[in-house]
Chain A
């Protein structure tokens, strides 16, 4: 299970590297809808 834990964290780190990165933002959305959760 330790291996799965390391792999899952590594997957997140790789995802941050390939995730879209916007240089400029024309319109700032106040909040994304699906994040309204408790």
Chain B
């Protein structure tokens, strides 16, 4: 393959990979502030450990399963096992950057996706079970679905549009979080004790760093340092802001006060929803997508609480519902005026795209739900999913890690 490497594209992609890398520890702080102080270290450790674990899994076999040469539209081959043949020349997905740069950018997506799920089983999952679950989930859920959409698999061939991971990242993690919450059951004291966030400032800081990193997530997905990246950057910021304003407003009208945590959660919901659409929609559409994210995600969380599902940090409401809304909104608002390589959506005269998006949403929901259930049940048999009640009451920092977060 001729070497057409662009210094600008490569610099932007590597910088974007670093931005996305920051999102995983940022998620640790976002979640860490929302749990009780006896569980903050364990919660942050979930994200930090996944950063390490999936960094190794991805170079050994994750990347080749997700992006290796296609086998039947379902999975990548083992040609690039341990990154054999993935070097400084461009690969098949990005002609102007080294294949290694593309690989490491994708690695950061593979890292953060299982970390998102950890919010659902916070404060009660055995660390050993979490380790096994993450490794199996990354291999049998994330890698195949990434292949289906981005690696030349059947959803990509069908024409599904997912610029930066609405189906691959957010629907898979959000739905798996709901399944995990149901399989693990509620925390001790749920519905009786106040299971309140121990440090809202930590959560707002985490949300802010997530927002910052998301520019790499979405604008980096253009894979070139050009106009499409600039558009993705602008619509990402706009949708996050609109969703934060909307969530805060809805919760203000509902609960009587403008919640700081609500604004932070709303911003994340907006970032989730714009993710699949960011390379296909204009700024007006991003305002409507942010508006929808604020309303739909907030409502979904009220419903899960009414059903007494202990999705501890509301992962399904934000990522599952926000990701599904974003994927469907892509089928509504996409326009070739923004991305000539894509397709128009419903409002530009192509209703068929919305149907394709619905198929992608349904496929990711069904596959991730079934696989997550099977993985969790197997782990429960061989390892045990939950810590004993006495250890849960003591807190996971002490019982799982023998450390304390604060000495004051």
Question: Which A residues are within 8 Å of any B CB, using their own CB?
Answer: 1-2, 4-5, 8-9, 12, 15-16, 19-20, 22, 30-38
Contact = CB atoms under 8 A, between A and B. Distances in A.
Contacts, number: 100
Interface stretch (B11-19, B26-34, B63-71, B88-96): B26-34
Given A8-B291, A22-B257, A36 B284 contact: no
Query: Interface on chain B toward A: helix, strand, loop, or mixed SS?
Result: helix
Nearest to A19: B252
A35 B262 contact: yes
Contacts of B252: 15-16, 19-20
28 contacts: A1-B333, A1-B347, A2-B284, A4-B288, A5-B288, A8-B288, A12-B249, A16-B252, A19-B249, A19-B252, A19-B253, A20-B252, A20-B256, A22-B257, A30-B197, A30-B200, A31-B259, A32-B259, A32-B261, A35-B264, A36-B261, A37-B301, A37-B313, A37-B315, A38-B27, A38-B119, A38-B265, A38-B314
Given A34-B305, A37-B301, A15 B249 contact: yes
Nearest to A36: B34
Nearest to B286: A5
B246 interface: yes
A8 B270 CA distance: 15
B302 A34 contact: yes
A38 B116 CA distance: 8
B74 interface: no
Contacts of B264: 35
B298 A31 contact: no
A31 B288 CA distance: 28
Given A4-B288, A32-B259, A37 B196 contact: no
B313 A38 contact: yes
A4 to B, nearest CB: 6
Contact of A37 (B200, B297, B333, B347): B297
Contacts of B27: 38
Nearest to A20: B256
A28 B243 CA distance: 25
Given A4-B288, A37-B301, A38-B314, A31 B196 contact: yes
Given A15-B249, A34-B305, A5 B257 contact: no
A31 B133 CA distance: 31
Given A30-B194, A33-B196, 6 more contacts: A8-B242, A8-B291, A15-B252, A16-B252, A32-B251, A38-B119
A30 B257 CA distance: 12
Contact of A1 (B265, B268, B288, B315): B288
Nearest to B198: A30
Nearest to B294: A12
B110 to A, nearest CB: 18
A1 B27 CA distance: 33
A2 B77 CA distance: 46
Given A12-B245, A12-B246, A30-B200, A35 B251 contact: yes
Contacts of B192: none
B126 interface: no
A26 B194 CA distance: 19
A8 B388 CA distance: 49
